[in-house]
Structure 1
Amino acid sequence: MVSDPQAPKLGIPTKLFYGFGSVGYGVKDVAFRSFLLLYYNQVIGIRADLVSFAILVALCVDAISDPIVGQWSDTLRTKWGRRHPFMFLSAVPASASLLFLFFPPAGMSEAQTFWYILIVGCCVRTFITFFEIPSSALAPELTSDYDERTSVASYRYFFAYLGGIGMAFITLLVFLAPTDEYPVGQLNPAGYETFAIVGAAVMFAAILISSLGTIHRVKYFRMPPQPEKLGPLKTLGQMKSTFAHRGFLAILAFGTLKYTSVGMTSALNIYFGTYLWGLNSAQLAVLTIDSLTGAFLALFVAPWASRKFGKRNAALGLAVIAVVFASTPYILRLTGNFFDNGDPLLVPAIFLFSTIFQLCGVSSAVLTHAMVGDVVEESQLVTGRRSEGLFYAANTLMQKSTSGLGVFAAGILVSFVGIVPGLDPSTIDPALPRALAAAYVPLLVVLYIGGAGFLFAYRINRESHQASVAELEERERASADGADGIADPETQPHPIKP
């Protein structure tokens, strides 16, 4: 085991500090999912498919950096633990690269802008990886308790939404507020620059505060044995055997489809709000609170669902409920049964449906995040290695890659239905956003429901997890007893040679 069973109980302050670090990741996430496509497409004037393709291609770097950082943090041995050195060192480069992403040099061609998004976007993703992967892998080290891990994960997700949604709310309400020059505030370039400055500062602070607030727990970690040094081919072989765990593959398959839909939804929300629902930036800001409300309620719903139904069953059921509430407003609008634009009940109705969607979606995500932690012990029984970094690296890579794929899909849908750069919401053909909704809803349902089906292959429950933990503790005791029973050859008489 890595966490000492005799360590003090994990208190609320430590959970708060641990979770607070994901504020920075939430800022990065909302930048890529919600603002980057609209900023470069409608403000800078770059084709939507080109921008979304640049965001997607940037994820190829994550395919290399995520597992490398995960493996590196698994094998590092320092007095500050395996994870914290990476976490501290990521603060400056991660926040600085986010700042540059929204300050492209003037006078670039469309092709040059594409390469700028690609290169700077790679920097943002790589540097935040040096915090996010080790920080995620810290969770199984903090506690081995089945239900406690769900609680820890719920704090992480809440603060991720607090960072992302909080920044989105302030940006839409304040930074992108309508002006005389820009009556549609979402098209004001200065607002995005302010977002980048404030977001970079928030990211920097969140990383440092979380790292400082959790480092005191390192003294309670039992450092696993130093793994043998292997060449690249053997390392890849070990990674392959680690990732062959059936339960983990089920989580990846579910996440691949689900987070594709999450990326698509995040990128299209501001399009739907602007062009389908006819909302201004203040109303859009109000609607961002639905995600934060859902994430806050998930702090209580996810642990309760874990205790009541088990993590897998709860995650599966909540995912199905989530997609029902996510698609309902669009189906009602397309069938002529929803509130008209300008109706005072429109925003409250959208808010209600979206809050329930977010509550169920976030709770499902919290549970699957905690399920990854439970895979660690079961995998250790088979492979003899604790690979938290690798598992969370693969899980995070899946989320980022498929979210990027979702943003790319959103860009393709926007271009396909004919929404071109510079469209005025007051003069747009109403058929265009309706066509976008008609294409979006079936994709959303297929991705969510199809992904949830893969969770049937995940078989770890509370009883099997507790058995794995007990078996590992027994092996550790046996190993310690065996080591104590080995005599020191320097203090023993040498045998008489014949």
Structure 2
Amino acid sequence: MAETTSSDTPSSPAASPAAAPPKPSLWTKLAYGFGSVAYGVKDNGFNYFLLLFYSQVIGLDARLVGLAITTALILDAVSDPIVGYWSDNFRSRWGRRHPFMYASAIPVAATFFLLWNPPQGLSQMGLFWYLLSMAVLIRTFITFYETPSSALAPELSEDYDQRSSLLSFRYYFGWTGGNAMSVLMFMALFPAFSTAAIPNGQFNRDAYELYGIIASALIFVAILVSAGGTHSRIAHLKGAPPKRRITLGAIFREIFETLANRSFVALFIAAMLGSVATGLSAALAFYFSTYFWGFSPQQIGWITMSVFVSAIIGSVLAPIATRTMGKKRGAMIIGVIAFLGAPLPIVLRLMGVLPDNDHPFVYGLVLTTTMIDTGLIICFQILSASMLADLVEAAELKTGRRSEGVFFAASTFIRKTVQGLGVITAGFVLTAAQFPAGASPSEVPEEALLRLGTYYVPTILGLWMAMMAVMATYKLSREGHEENLRQLAAKSTEAAKSD
């Protein structure tokens, strides 16, 4: 007799597509959301500290650092659909997702710690291979956590509004966790490790060693809290599809069948354009805050602190927008406001209507608009992710398979593969602006700053507005989602009667 488990027993609630899971409790939402701290901390370290640490503190050639990071990023993007498909089809007594989540906790934390503690005495090529190996390992291991963990959202609730609420917790903790590490570094660790020999703690290796300990511990706790806090829901989660002969061709065919949806294609292309825009904005953020506006490190630190408020704004606003406007309409309205408002201070400076940079009004304007605009962007991201979650039932109706992992893996895949295009675009903008390399703020001509703003604004607006135009072709509404649920329930009832 064939062995069966709770995830593939036909009579179990997890295997029935019509068995709507009970409403997630506040604890479940908190645990699910807190899990994103792991990815937020990892992403923050890669985006803001890794290049500086290995090139300026450890002494590895910056070109080799960039090559290692880019190579790891490409390999990481390839692992996403593999892990997504695997977790969709995995069978165990703990369901499809939780075995991946539990198994990843120690490897993720250990490799992140080792990333910030390279052996001393290595040659340039030795450091390169160490960085590349650690970067590939940490990115791969966290994919084994993040993809199955993110894919839980459509399973924890089928309700149109509840999904936005769940993802609000997810994005709140992701943004807050990552930003907290930046604040810790700039406000506590770097000052604490500033010595007579190394006046700026940013260049003290010991600061990053302590950072690695704190960050890896936080990642470990976040993964276990998320996995353990949602463990009781396993009985209500969907089961894997029936066992079948799986070949490489069948895998690609099933992935294509799952993603061959006009609304998914809209989100896919929109994510691609949005990722380029995000990469461009992040790559030039330092140039605008330091050169264009002339802000001090302390002022930049307070702008970083404001992201905590932004995360609250976005996570509170998204469920309200879902209930009152619907996800697509809410995303379109909030997105247009956010993306038109983001470069507004730069436009006002180019128009000559702002006072000089040392006037308090200028800093207050940039701080306030950044805080509110970032909150609106977080809200937009939550609504977009919730729109993606609603496509799971549409695909199940067509294919008969639950493919949450494939959907969320495809979304992260495109963000990772095109992320570098934003940096390349930033390089073109700087070249067109004739921005001097290696110059201090006082050495940059006013004309170069004006050209920087003049070329940046239409470029970023063009990318964002193209993204919004593509997203407008997304078709699934609240009514469409509820109709998909009704049809799945009817199919399940018919199947039960035939048995």
Category of TM-score, reference length = shorter chain: 0.7 to 0.9
1:129 corresponds to: 143
Establish whether residue 33 from structure 1 lines up as the match of residue 47 from structure 2.
yes
> Which position in structure 2 is the counterpart of 1:379?
395
Match for residue 150 of structure 1?
164
* Equivalent in 203, 218, 231 of residue 247 of structure 2: 231
**Aligned-partner Cα distance in 1 for 2:234–2:419:** 33
Q: Number of residue pairs matched?
A: 482
Counterpart-to-counterpart distance in 2, 1:229 and 1:209: 36
1:462 to 478, 481, 491: 478
2:99 maps to 1:85: yes
Which aligned pairs between 1:35-50 and structure 2 lie closer than 5 A?
Answer: 35-40=49-54, 43=57
Letter in 2 for 1:159: F
Separation of aligned partners in 1, 2:137 and 2:424: 19
Distance 1:440 1:52, change over 3 A: farther
- Residue 177 of structure 1 contacts residue 281 of structure 1 at CA under 8 Å; is this kept in 2? no
Q: CA deviation at 1:230?
A: 1.2
Name the counterpart of 1:290.
Answer: 306
1-side partners of 2:208 and 2:430: how far apart?
Answer: 21
Counterpart CA distance in 1 for 2:423 and 2:16 is: 38
Tell me, yes or no, if structure 1 residue 213 matches structure 2 residue 216. no
**Aligned 8 A contact 2:21 2:155 in 1:** no
Structure 1 counterpart SS, 2:246:
coil
Deviates more, 1:238-247 or 1:174-183: 174-183
Aligned residue number for residue 494 of structure 1:
none
CA positional deviation for 1:89: 1.1
Aligned residues of 2:270 and 2:467 also touching (Cα < 8 A): yes
Deviates more, 1:147-156 or 1:404-413: 404-413
Cα shift at 1:288 = 1.3
Given that residues 146 and 374 in structure 1 are in contact (C-alpha distance below 8 angstroms), is that contact kept between their aligned partners in structure 2?
yes
Deviations 1:21-40 (A, max 9, x none): 00111111112222333444
Alignment counterpart, residue 497 of structure 2, candidates 470, 481, 485? 481
Aligned to 2:328: 312
Contact 2:91–2:240 under 8 Å retained in 1: no
Q: Give runs of aligned pairs for residues 417-496 of structure 1, distance below 5 A.
A: 420=437, 436-483=452-499
Read off the aligned partner of 2:403 and give its amino acid letter: S
Shift of the alpha carbon at 1:102? 3.1
SS of aligned partner of 1:103: coil
Partner of 2:26: 12
Q: Is the 8 A contact 1:18 1:213 kept in 2?
A: yes
1:10 counterpart SS class? coil
- CA distance in 2 between partners of 1:32 and 1:280 (Å): 24
How far, CA to CA, are the matches of 1:125 and 1:418 in structure 2? Answer: 34
SS in 1 for 2:306: helix
Contact 1:2–1:224 (8 Å) recurs in 2: no
- Contact kept? 2:102, 2:223, Cα under 8 Å: yes
| TM-score, with structure 1 as normaliser | 0.88
Equivalents in 1 of 2:356, 2:417: separation in Å? Answer: 36
Q: TM-score w.r.t. structure 2 length?
A: 0.87
C-alpha distance after superposition, 1:101-136 (max 9, x if no partner): 333445666666555443322222111101110001
**Per-residue deviation at 1:325?**
2.0
Return the letter of the residue paired with 1:124.
I
Cα distance per residue 1:171-223 (max 9 Å; x no partner): 12122339455666555554444333322221111111111111111122242
Q: Is this contact kept in 1: 2:435–2:444, CA < 8 A?
A: no
126, 146, 155: which one aligns with 1:141: 155
TM-fit CA distance, 1:427: 5.8
Inter-partner Cα distance in structure 1 for 2:449 and 2:391: 43
Query: Structure 1 residue 390 and structure 2 residue 401: aligned?
Result: no
The alpha-carbon deviation at position 430 of structure 1 amounts to 6.2
Distance 1:38 1:415, change over 3 A: farther
Contact 2:277 2:422 survives alignment (8 Å):
yes
Distance 1:426 1:119, change over 3 A: farther
User: Do 2:116 and 2:209's aligned partners in 1 also have CA atoms closer than 8 Å?
Assistant: yes
Whether 1:402 aligns to 2:418 is yes
AA matched with 2:329? N
- Determine the structure 2 residue equivalent to 1:330: 346
Alignment check: 8 A CA contact 2:34 2:226 kept: yes
- How does 1:50-69 map onto structure 2 within 5 Å? 51-69=65-83
Name the SS of the counterpart of 2:191 in structure 1: coil
The amino acid that maps onto 1:154 is S
Which deviates the most, 275-284 or 27-36?
Answer: 275-284
The runs of 5 or more residues in structure 1 that have no matched partner are 484-498
Question: What is the CA RMSD across the aligned residues, in angstroms?
Answer: 2.8
Partner amino acid, structure 2, of 1:273: S
Same amino acid, percent of matched pairs: 39
CA separation of 1:267/1:258 partners in 2, compared to 1, >3 Å: closer, same or farther?
A: same
Supply the AA of the counterpart residue of 2:147.
I
Q: Which residue of 2 aligns with 1:369?
A: 385
Which consecutive residues of structure 2, in runs of 5 or more, have no partner in the other structure?
1-14
Contact 1:185–1:281 (CA under 8 A) maintained in structure 2:
no
SS in 1 for 2:360: coil
